[in-house]
Structure 1
């Protein structure tokens, strides 16, 4: 242990006198300081019972007993091995009650032989654990035990920490118990006094001390334990909102490009499309134009289901930006989507506007021509992928950056593109509807527009779960629709064979469907194909040279073929709800109705089946997002691709604690100056980070 006086900012290594593997494990999950340790909260705390006769052992409750060891049996567990391939045992110790003579079994699973030796060495054994029943026999599994003399000091509270980073609950408690008593009294308050008084919140110091059992044992109770958690939940949401509000205020302080777009110009721009915009599209476009005339840089998130017309709004905003003498950039997550946008936008914008495409697969000559055109301003609208944020890309006069499928990009990538134009505006598009409660935390610093209304003429899609029993019916339905001139997607989670035999792969599935339908053209599409091969597959499918496209989730974004009406998703349990919803949005995009089939080949766990039933039941992306948030939690709504966004909070949960979140938002709106509280954020990497 360090000889210097410890502080809350001291590294946890200072709690030890020598190098510790426990410290290394905790450091690996960003638990680095003593204060970080405070946030590792117990799962529960219970009062330790007094020693009692065995007849008072109630199933499901903690019990503390004392007796003589009658017998000890150890059976090797051949399915498990310890360190260095050491043998592990399942041990049964039968103990006779000191008070009544009754016998109780203590069970120890996956133990080293030393556990048996220690039990046998005890004349008397005192033990503590939760009582259970197995095959009608009352027992205690994996209890704590020792001689009565060694157990003498074990009174008061039993604190159960979670196991994290392979650090057991016992070792975690030992680490936290190393924190000196004086440090618990140095925990400072970081919430406004008036808020603490208004809601009768615990002080920060009292909350942490209560949650870790560092108080007078006689004063401890379950109700105050919960109130202590509520205090820290409030603090987390408060810090989120401070950061969000300060970031928003900072953005508003910058001078933005003012385009000065008139109402007449706005109305005329809508005539670029041969159909009338929906009310939601018109409202969103007005929001965008208002932002770009406000004098501060726009940072607006436009969200809505696949096919709701977000791109239409983005194209019109780009057109109006270009007409005012500025450049526009559209960044897409995949080359196929960028290529599709390039082709469709070229058909919409009038002649005279210079549009270019910049991809990772572009030739050196093509790249150099595009880079020169962006720098001298001859290229007015650039569409591309990650290539757009490279240092070599310079704009003469960037006015608008558009990020499509924003959750596919990291924060730094988006900032790099937006930063290429002084005072430029940013429009962010997401086809993953974000629940209101999540948008208040993860996207609270952005202005948000929602497009819910679908363009007229779209039939949408129906979704059904297909079990092995009705798979032949699915094949028959697929055959009928293709004979009617329609097209289909068959989606799989993997390209090649996996060690997990339950996962369908593209190679095998492609051959199966060629065998099922030799009369139809069946072709593959996946992310490992060369860019030109993927482009050819997209083109051939769009021209109906392919009847059935067997693909991976690469089609989640980037395909718009109105003749495709059937989608079969194999192993749907391998995809998130948002991905399933996005993928099925590829069918039913025209006048013909779409059909999505979630094809399972085995009996699924009830919770897995519930997820699929959510997709089967709801077509509303916002409802699905809410259900997804309940099932998976805020930490994984977008999955691992949400790089740059740390979404897992310590203890607050925006579904379970919405009432506290809304209370914080209301409270913080009455605080004129939030700068005194930005110190709360200095070392906090767990607060949400957006653009």
Structure 2
């Protein structure tokens, strides 16, 4: 039987090959794809607003008579059409227009138009508004409906998408959408069927509750939200199944290296570390690939857990790959692991994009021949020429900086290309529980929720830029008393060059203002050896003050540093600020973090800095970050393309997470349902398992 999935969009009136190509950029190939291209908001076009009552930023319908239509030759040629009603006037401005349009908008023509009010040369203006000439009478209020607004791509305007969706709705009478969810489930939550829900969301009926639709809480929208979140959950469970369908090498603990390693540490493991290690040991000894996420706040000792896990693999005669998202973090892991494991007879190699020529070839040979038991590096470890002899454990630090597909690429490098490596994912960015349950549904989660004894809370102070002199004085005082300090420069621009420049200027200023202090500088443009040398001098106490960009965000450990100044903290996410703050408070003395902001602060900025001042708890801060910035930013997935929802909103719809986690496993027993739901909601975008 024909389904909507089988009917191409070219069947619709007005869709030729050129338009079909543009629609394909939106992931729309079939009528079903079009029906699931859902409005992300609605506009209320049910009443005409008097022009005299408009304010900048209003989105409104106005109606009036054309006073004049002129060609204006400014920096860009434009068509300027002046409308008036009984209360005032407004300009419609078009930068793209033709002669027919100019003639259509002749003096005296009645026009109804819809747009956003902007300030312009001639008063209030609408740029490229949607309009109708000689419009019909407005429907009475009880018959008025909201107008859907759709995601677009270049070359397609709202009216076109709206028209196509209306055409697609006419197919629903002959070809209802297949409802894959059990009727009993829908009845439990009092939700409508899928066909009814899709129809209502595209074409809200007259009298539908406007506030519910605008807030995304109408039962029809919630029906679709639930199915979308479920599809994401199922896709991750499918990743897990596909990885675990492959066998792994059981890594049975042998030898005494782990005991010797623990003996040489200047501290004992915390209860939380021991508990997490028990989980990992158990997982690694199975013939099924481990998929475990270890979350731990700044300074909770995840690196020690990673080293113990690596030793279990090495003792079983296997190789380990440890991957970090930045050169500086990967390099730091390399230094730590060398100091810890070389005395135990473990050979390590360092592989990053910057390792070239003979050094690279030598490292590749050591990995291929199995001499190197641990390879540490950045995403350079993914490259085709990196061939392992017996890779059985992959440790990924700060997973959210990598896409799921990158993690999957490493599984192909497992023993003989057939056994999948075990995977240990670590993050110092605490992930809110609801988000972890959804975004990391393919992973088992362990939390190191205990800091080593002796870590003191850090006092956080928020001051404006105008107090800069006092802050510099504070740095002088701390360093004179024998302590050390960080000064972190942040910039809103992504440009690394500008960040480095800012850090250089600040370092120069501080050298002049604090001539009696020894000051160092690290930023992203320094060569790895130069960075390492400066960091080493700071660690050894030769430098009093380290000026840095956010390259010091993760992993740098200097117990004598007790003061950190962060400039423009309003430009960073809460999780990143919490990471930076964690650079201090690692020794015995009281520690301070000064957030020096640039006024005026937005309400959002105030809320974030307040949250940081009020709490030391990374998980509380992560929840706040999620509330304020949304999941795309918290997970860093704006870049990776994961968790980009069509209709679901994480904060609004988090009440669905628990029920969905409970209902997903039973649906996994029906592969046909799983693949249909994933295809419907994620399209061809995410095929993790085929990477």
**So what's the TM-score if we normalise by structure 1?**
0.83
SS of alignment partner, residue 368 of structure 2? helix
- Cα shift at 1:48: 4.1
Equivalent in 78, 86, 98 of residue 77 of structure 2: 86
User: CA RMSD, aligned part only?
Assistant: 4.2
Question: Does the CA contact (< 8 Å) of 2:307 and 2:337 recur in 1?
Answer: yes
SS of alignment partner, residue 325 of structure 2? coil
1:647 maps onto 2:643 in alignment: yes
Give per-residue Cα distances to partners, 1:526-552, cap 9 Å, x unaligned.
112222222222222222332222221
Give per-residue Cα distances to partners, 1:168-226, cap 9 Å, x unaligned.
54343234334362256423223223322333321211111111118xx5685559961
1:257 maps onto 2:235 in alignment: no
Question: Does the CA contact (< 8 Å) of 2:296 and 2:428 recur in 1?
Answer: yes
1:376 maps onto 2:369 in alignment: yes
Give per-residue Cα distances to partners, 1:417-455, cap 9 Å, x unaligned.
333222431111011111111111110110000112111
Partner of 2:285: 293
Equivalent in 412, 417, 420 of residue 413 of structure 2: 420
Partner of 1:352: 345
Give per-residue Cα distances to partners, 1:80-109, cap 9 Å, x unaligned.
96xxx1236483503xxxxxxxx3335345
Question: Does the CA contact (< 8 Å) of 1:441 and 1:688 recur in 2?
Answer: no
Partner of 2:532: 535
- Cα shift at 1:303: 0.8
Equivalent in 657, 661, 664 of residue 661 of structure 1: 657
Give per-residue Cα distances to partners, 1:116-136, cap 9 Å, x unaligned.
97666447x47477999x9xx
Question: Does the CA contact (< 8 Å) of 2:318 and 2:392 recur in 1?
Answer: yes
* Equivalences for residues 440-451 of structure 1 within 5 A: 440-451=437-448
Give per-residue Cα distances to partners, 1:375-424, cap 9 Å, x unaligned.
33332233223332322223332222211122233334323333322243
> How far, CA to CA, are the matches of 1:282 and 1:172 in structure 2?
57
* Equivalences for residues 599-618 of structure 1 within 5 A: 599-618=596-615
> How far, CA to CA, are the matches of 1:248 and 1:643 in structure 2?
22
Aligned residue pairs, count: 661
> How far, CA to CA, are the matches of 1:516 and 1:373 in structure 2?
50
Closer, same or farther: CA 397–234 of 1 in aligned 2, 3 Å: same
Consecutive unaligned residues of structure 2, counting only runs of 5 or more, are none
Of stretches 545-554 and 245-254 in structure 1, the one that deviates more from structure 2 is 245-254
> How far, CA to CA, are the matches of 1:6 and 1:201 in structure 2?
23
- Cα shift at 1:233: 0.5
> How far, CA to CA, are the matches of 2:492 and 2:224 in structure 1?
45
Partner of 2:683: 684
Closer, same or farther: CA 32–643 of 1 in aligned 2, 3 Å: same
Give per-residue Cα distances to partners, 1:585-617, cap 9 Å, x unaligned.
112222233322222233122222222222222
1:104 maps onto 2:87 in alignment: yes
> How far, CA to CA, are the matches of 2:492 and 2:442 in structure 1?
39
1:434 maps onto 2:431 in alignment: yes
Equivalent in 554, 579, 595 of residue 582 of structure 1: 579
SS of alignment partner, residue 374 of structure 1? helix
Partner of 1:675: 671
* Equivalences for residues 319-398 of structure 1 within 5 A: 319-349=311-341, 350-362=343-355, 364-398=357-391
> How far, CA to CA, are the matches of 2:20 and 2:577 in structure 1?
40
- Cα shift at 1:338: 3.0
Of stretches 620-629 and 376-385 in structure 1, the one that deviates more from structure 2 is 376-385
1:182 maps onto 2:171 in alignment: yes
SS of alignment partner, residue 362 of structure 2? helix
1:279 maps onto 2:274 in alignment: no
Partner of 1:550: 547
> How far, CA to CA, are the matches of 2:501 and 2:613 in structure 1?
21
- Cα shift at 1:302: 0.4
Equivalent in 497, 511, 522 of residue 514 of structure 1: 511
> How far, CA to CA, are the matches of 2:211 and 2:475 in structure 1?
59
Give per-residue Cα distances to partners, 1:618-647, cap 9 Å, x unaligned.
22111111111111211221336x754512
Equivalent in 270, 281, 304 of residue 312 of structure 1: 304
Partner of 1:159: 147
Closer, same or farther: CA 625–31 of 1 in aligned 2, 3 Å: farther
Of stretches 13-22 and 322-331 in structure 1, the one that deviates more from structure 2 is 13-22
Closer, same or farther: CA 238–111 of 1 in aligned 2, 3 Å: same
- Cα shift at 1:330: 1.7
SS of alignment partner, residue 90 of structure 2? strand
- Cα shift at 1:235: 0.7
Question: Does the CA contact (< 8 Å) of 1:185 and 1:205 recur in 2?
Answer: no
SS of alignment partner, residue 557 of structure 1? coil
SS of alignment partner, residue 207 of structure 1? helix
> How far, CA to CA, are the matches of 1:446 and 1:194 in structure 2?
29
SS of alignment partner, residue 179 of structure 1? helix
Question: Does the CA contact (< 8 Å) of 1:91 and 1:116 recur in 2?
Answer: no
SS of alignment partner, residue 599 of structure 1? strand
* Equivalences for residues 26-175 of structure 1 within 5 A: 27-38=24-35, 39-41=37-39, 43-44=41-42, 48=46, 69=65, 72=67, 85-87=76-78, 89=80, 91-94=82-85, 103-105=86-88, 107-111=90-94, 121-122=107-108, 125=110, 127=112, 144=131, 146-147=133-134, 156-162=144-150, 164-165=152-153, 168-175=157-164
Question: Does the CA contact (< 8 Å) of 1:463 and 1:615 recur in 2?
Answer: yes
Of stretches 426-435 and 590-599 in structure 1, the one that deviates more from structure 2 is 590-599
* Equivalences for residues 626-645 of structure 1 within 5 A: 626-639=623-636, 643-645=639-641
Question: Does the CA contact (< 8 Å) of 1:496 and 1:505 recur in 2?
Answer: no
1:203 maps onto 2:198 in alignment: no
Question: Does the CA contact (< 8 Å) of 1:300 and 1:446 recur in 2?
Answer: yes
Closer, same or farther: CA 247–334 of 1 in aligned 2, 3 Å: closer
Closer, same or farther: CA 321–65 of 1 in aligned 2, 3 Å: closer
Question: Does the CA contact (< 8 Å) of 2:500 and 2:523 recur in 1?
Answer: no
Closer, same or farther: CA 297–42 of 1 in aligned 2, 3 Å: closer
1:595 maps onto 2:595 in alignment: no
SS of alignment partner, residue 300 of structure 2? coil
Of stretches 203-212 and 668-677 in structure 1, the one that deviates more from structure 2 is 668-677
Closer, same or farther: CA 497–279 of 1 in aligned 2, 3 Å: closer
- Cα shift at 1:265: 9.1
Closer, same or farther: CA 61–157 of 1 in aligned 2, 3 Å: farther
Question: Does the CA contact (< 8 Å) of 1:647 and 1:686 recur in 2?
Answer: no
Partner of 2:456: 459
1:562 maps onto 2:559 in alignment: yes
Of stretches 420-429 and 472-481 in structure 1, the one that deviates more from structure 2 is 420-429
Question: Does the CA contact (< 8 Å) of 2:431 and 2:619 recur in 1?
Answer: yes
Partner of 1:483: 480
Question: Does the CA contact (< 8 Å) of 2:39 and 2:201 recur in 1?
Answer: yes
Question: Does the CA contact (< 8 Å) of 2:225 and 2:647 recur in 1?
Answer: yes
Of stretches 319-328 and 262-271 in structure 1, the one that deviates more from structure 2 is 262-271
> How far, CA to CA, are the matches of 1:651 and 1:72 in structure 2?
42
- Cα shift at 1:366: 3.1
